Amino acid sequence: MSTQAATAAARRSKITPEREAELYDAVIALLREGGYDAVTMEGVAARTKCGKATLYRQWGTKPQLVTAALAERRCAVFAGIDTGTLAGDLREAARLAASRRDRDAELMEAVAQAYIQHPDLRDGLRTTVIAPEIAALDAMLARAVERGELAPDNPATGFVAPCFLGMLRVERLFEDRFTDASAMRTFVDAVLLPALRVEG
């Protein structure tokens, strides 16, 4: 653990897990209600009857608090998927993503604009929320290469994670086209697997 991480952990250790969960719940609620701009240290403090100074001492800045809350509440979707084939892995990832669509979409839309406008928030979310999902998708491809299913020099491999996560982001913008939960499975079968030249 880095010195910075150890210092942050030591600061947070003064708050009980139950109290930390309460604070994170308040952040998530404010995000859902009004987006990133609606979250303020004052608002979280008032909602949880917590001193604003405590929040600054524990998390330092609003982006760090929001990032921590999102990371705590959003468990990795794709970690642990290993069906034995790349087609099976990608289809299972599509199934899990579709099952979480309604629950996660509202929250992700609440922070999407802030992600673009606030580099400090973007950097935190990339590290704690997005990077684990990208790593899990990349691991599926690496296993497929090891099994001989996928050519290591296939130029499509570098686009799988961006396309998969991008599809999740734009799916709700095209609800007239993607009207049911099968859209992600169709995306895998009609776009990703042919591009990867994978049978299945």
Could you give the domains of the chain?
3-73 (1.10.357.10), 86-196 (no CATH)
pLDDT in tens, the chain (200 residues): 444 444 454 454 578 999 999 999 999 999 888 888 899 999 999 999 999 999 999 999 999 999 999 888 776 689 899 999 999 999 999 998 888 766 666 676 677 778 888 888 888 888 888 888 899 999 999 999 999 999 999 999 999 999 998 888 777 678 777 767 788 999 999 999 999 998 77
Give 56's Cβ-side CA count (13 Å radius).
7
Sole residue written with tokens 């990208």:
134
Q: What is the DSSP string of 40-81?
A: -HHHHHHHHT--HHHHHHHHSSHHHHHHHHHHHHS--SSTT-
